[in-house]
């Protein structure tokens, strides 16, 4: 770990995020620049993700959510979709899973599983069961996930509870809806990092990003290394998070 990352690990409470959400974008362009097939970019993306998890563990950041496959990614060419799922299945059946388990990582998948293959679903369930007891790092992987889907699914569940008489309409509030969403019980991401130059949310954790600091970088995902993470964390440490309040309220200084 570099000196700066080490310093970040000793940083004052509040200056490191507790939950980092990442949109890993730019694998295809990374590969194209090297004259390689897009799949090689996705493979390199997996290597960058391994490194990110290692830094997370070293820094003691307790929660990480990454966007692996969005509900819109089905529109990609079939061979690419197949390649992405092969890669995911491979990662869940090689040494990575055991390593995550040994390191105390609790792995969980968020997103709609119905349209995934049986073998994919089985591997996901196995990984979740195996790592369920771990508490050092909660690692959420969004597969076939969409922020709108998450909200609609929660509303449907609440509507069912109302219909069956278990919940009064007046009891519906933000906490109640939040408790039905995929990240229920977890603290909201404090920092979102999106690589690859785009400045949009692409239907990621729409509900949960309401107060999240948004960090966009042109760095392509496979190039996102410790130095890039340092930059993102340094930027985050410099943000003043007011949550709708004024600067004076935070510092105690008098304001007109």
Minimum Å gap between C-beta 86 and ligand IPE is 12
Shortest Å distance, C-beta 197 to ligand IPE = 9
27 is catalytic: no
Of the candidates 167, 196, 204, the residue with the CA atom closest to the CA atom of residue 45: 196
Q: What's the DSSP call for residue 202?
A: T
Work out which of 17, 20, 25, 31 binds Mg ion, going by CB under 5 A. 25
Catalytic annotation, pick one of 27, 73, 118, 134: 73
Q: β-strands 105-110, 63-70: how paired?
A: unpaired
User: Alpha helix (H) ranges present in 13-64?
Assistant: 27-33, 38-59
Instruction: Give the residue closest to Mg ion by C-beta.
Output: 25
Q: With contact defined as beta carbons under 8 Å apart, do 16 and 188 qualify?
A: no
Sheet containing 213-216, strands listed edge to edge, beginning at the edge strand earlier in sequence: 105-110, 137-145, 63-70, 19-23, 191-194, 213-216
230 binds, among ligand IPE, Mg ion, none (CB under 5 to 8 A by kind): none
Q: Is 73 an active-site residue? A: yes
69 forms part of the interface with ligand IPE (CB under 6 A):
yes
What is the distance between the alpha carbons of residues 251 and 218, in angstroms, rounded to a whole number? 33
Of residues 84, 107, 120, 232, which one binds ligand IPE by CB under 6 A?
Answer: 84
Query: What is the nearest approach in angstroms of Mg ion to the Cβ of residue 25?
Result: 4
CB neighbour class for 231 (10 Å; exposed up to 12, middle 13-18, buried from 19): middle
Q: How many residues bind ligand IPE (CB under 6 A)?
A: 11
Cβ atoms of residues 203 and 71 within 8 Å: yes
Exactly one of 73, 134, 157, 203 binds ligand IPE (CB under 6 A); that residue is 73
Site for ligand IPE in 175-214 (CB under 6 A): 196
Q: Considering beta carbons, is residue 220 or 233 the nearer one to ligand IPE? A: 220
24 binds ligand IPE (CB under 6 A): yes
Q: What would the two tokens of residue 70 be? A: 């969005």
Least distance between Mg ion and beta carbon 50 (Å): 20
- Residues designated as active site: 25, 73
- Residues forming contacts to ligand IPE in the complex (CB under 6 A) are 24-29, 69, 73, 84, 196, 221
């Amino acid at each position: 770990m570099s000196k700066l990352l080490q310093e970040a690990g000793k940083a004052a409470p509040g200056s490191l995020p507790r939950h980092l959400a990442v949109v890993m974008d730019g694998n295809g362009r990374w590969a194209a620049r090297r004259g390689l097939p897009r799949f090689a970019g996705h493979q390199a993306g997996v290597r960058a993700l391994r490194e990110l998890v290692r830094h997370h563990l070293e820094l003691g950041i307790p929660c990480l959510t990454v966007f692996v496959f969005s509900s819109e990614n089905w529109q990609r060419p079939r061979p690419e979709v197949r390649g992405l799922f092969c890669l995911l299945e491979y990662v869940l059946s090689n040494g990575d899973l055991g390593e995550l388990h040994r390191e105390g990582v609790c792995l969980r998948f968020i997103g709609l599983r119905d349209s995934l293959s049986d073998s994919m679903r089985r591997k996901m369930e196995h990984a979740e069961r195996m790592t369920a007891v771990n508490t050092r790092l909660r690692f959420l992987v969004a597969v076939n996930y969409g922020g709108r889907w998450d909200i609609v699914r929660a509303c449907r569940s609440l509507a069912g509870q109302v219909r069956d008489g278990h919940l009064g309409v007046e009891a519906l509030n933000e906490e109640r809806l939040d408790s039905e969403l995929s990240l229920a019980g977890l603290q909201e991401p404090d920092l979102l990092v999106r690589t690859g130059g785009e400045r949009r949310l692409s239907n990621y954790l729409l509900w949960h990003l309401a107060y999240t600091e948004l960090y966009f970088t042109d760095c392509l995902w496979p190039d996102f290394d410790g130095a890039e993470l340092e930059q993102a964390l340094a930027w985050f440490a410099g943000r003043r998070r007011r949550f709708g309040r004024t600067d004076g309220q935070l510092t105690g200084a008098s304001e007109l």
